Amino acid sequence: MMEVKYEAVVLGAGESGVGAALLYKSRGLTVFVSDYGTIADKYKAELEAAAIPYEEGVHSTELILRAHEIVKSPGIPEKAPIMQAIRAAGIPVISEIELAGRYLRPGTKVIGITGSNGKTTTTMWLHHILSEAGLSVGLAGNVGFSLARQVMTDEQPDYFVIELSSFQLDDMHEFRVHVALLMNITPDHLDRYHYNFEEYALSKMRILQNQTSDDAFIYWGEDEFVSRYVMTHQPMPMQCLPFLTYPQVGSAADKSDEGTMRIHFEGHDFSFPLDQLALQGPHNLQNAMAASIAALRLGVSEEVLRGALTDFVNVPHRLEKVGVLDGVRYINDSKATNVSSTYYALRTMTTPYVLILGGQDKGNDYMDISELVKAGARGLVFLTTDVLKLYQTFHGEVPQIASALSMEEAIDHARAMAQPGDTVLLSPACASFDLFKSYIHRGDSFRSVVQRLIQDAEAHG
């Protein structure tokens, strides 16, 4: 019996994996898709319509190891047995972004955004600005449709704004980012990087690996690791455009800038009132500054930029206002899957709050938020199967603590703790996979339960 051999195998059949498989097929290459979990019906239908063979619930190791090239979906860890077998066999592994880059139309400009926090908001905000400027612009990476799906024809936009995770960057080799934005680097996903911060941080710096003197690197100049990296790698080929947020919020160093965002580079002298930004808080100032520098460098007019900084609507699950119940605000920040994201969320709180915290721990150090929690939390609800580290950190530090194994139970506890005028904030600082399918599923559950309770209250009002 003849052995079946494919030119490419795609591991994982989510949006990026299926996009990669469809791109291979469109270019006349034989491809097989393998997913150790369950493939969503909509993706099965696409694979079947394109006559692409696939499997689910298993990885057929012998078949996979006969491939010339492997596309690995970002969610698959290197410690997975199939990945260890692939690495041992020496088969080239690339990301869906790397594959798609081979088929970008000549002249298309790539704006890549990475960082531990803020990359999704900045990606969406910059896409909004460029769209408002009338540019031909696509959205890809961790948001929107996969880049592979969007390069299957020559009818491509002039610009792609792409959110890039460290996992995607790990398997990018030749892909070139023309304008790179790096928001910050704080401990995250350390379970995927041998609990080594430097290893994780260096994966973020891969966004620069193919930049030339025609390109730009926009980064938060107050990030200790990134600033040190730039200093120790001089001269760098690309134009470096750091931005600083501390004078903007009225530090002792520069009181004149209080209340105003200021950007100076390459002859640009742009200022904007902080209270007019569509999104408030110190972290959103970072997002706004990075997006503004990129937009100005790409030729967007100040008039268009001012309008787009004002009227942008944030993505779901990121400090999303869900509603008011019994005089208490409910905010969905389910996308806060690390401690730093939760730290930023707590910085925006202007009322006492009940914080719903917890999930799949990724090597978190909750001491980074303990002072903020002690200062502002009326209570904590631990929504997770693993409460030990949370109790060890916070027991005795806040007036009320409860634990829950469902969103309904968590919100019941939060309602009991909160008082009129307070805020209930879902900002878990953890991955969602112990109780939910994803941070989206977790946030949707929060929104659904709260809105149902609001409707019930109105019906009986």
State yes or no: pLDDT of 252 exceeds 50. Answer: no
Q: What is the pLDDT of residue 251?
A: 41
Give the percent of the chain with pLDDT over 90.
73
Q: What is the DSSP letter of 67?
A: -
Cut 0.85: pTM above it = no
Q: What is the pLDDT of residue 248?
A: 59
SS3 content of the chain, % helix, strand, coil (to 5): 40, 20, 40
CB 56, CB 13: distance < 8 Å = yes
Architecture of the CATH domain 98-311: 3-Layer(aba) Sandwich (3.40)
Give the CATH number of domain 320-459.
3.90.190.20
Q: What is the pLDDT of residue 167?
A: 85
CB 120, CB 92: distance < 8 Å = no
In this prediction, residue 253 has a pLDDT band, given cuts at 50, 70 and 90, of very low
Q: What is the pLDDT of residue 164?
A: 94
Element at 302 (helix H, strand E)? helix 302-311
In this prediction, residue 275 has a pLDDT band, given cuts at 50, 70 and 90, of confident
Residue 350 one-letter amino acid: T
**Phi, psi of 296, deg, nearest 5:** -65, -40
Q: What is the pLDDT of residue 461?
A: 65
* Pairwise pLDDT comparison (181 vs 250), residue with the higher score: 181
State yes or no: pLDDT of 72 exceeds 60. Answer: yes
The CATH fold of domain 8-94: Rossmann fold (3.40.50)
Q: Does residue 319 sit in helix, strand or coil?
A: coil
Q: Where does residue 234 rank: exposed (0-12), middle (13-18), buried (19+ CB within 10 A)?
A: exposed
CB atoms within 10 A of CB 153: 9
State mean pLDDT over 93-108. 96
In this prediction, residue 460 has a pLDDT band, given cuts at 50, 70 and 90, of confident
235: left (phi over 0), alpha (psi -120 to 50) or beta: beta
Question: What residues pair up with 272 in beta bridges, in sequence order?
Answer: 261
| Gap between the Cα atoms of 113 and 135, Å rounded | 18
| Gap between the Cα atoms of 144 and 137, Å rounded | 12
Residues in the chain: 461
In this prediction, residue 165 has a pLDDT band, given cuts at 50, 70 and 90, of confident
136: left (phi over 0), alpha (psi -120 to 50) or beta: beta
Beta strands per DSSP E along 222-326: 239-243, 260-265, 268-273, 320-325
Task: For residue range 311-337, list pLDDT tens digits in order.
Answer: 987 777 888 889 899 999 999 999 999
Residue boundaries of the structural domains of the chain: 8-94, 98-311, 320-459
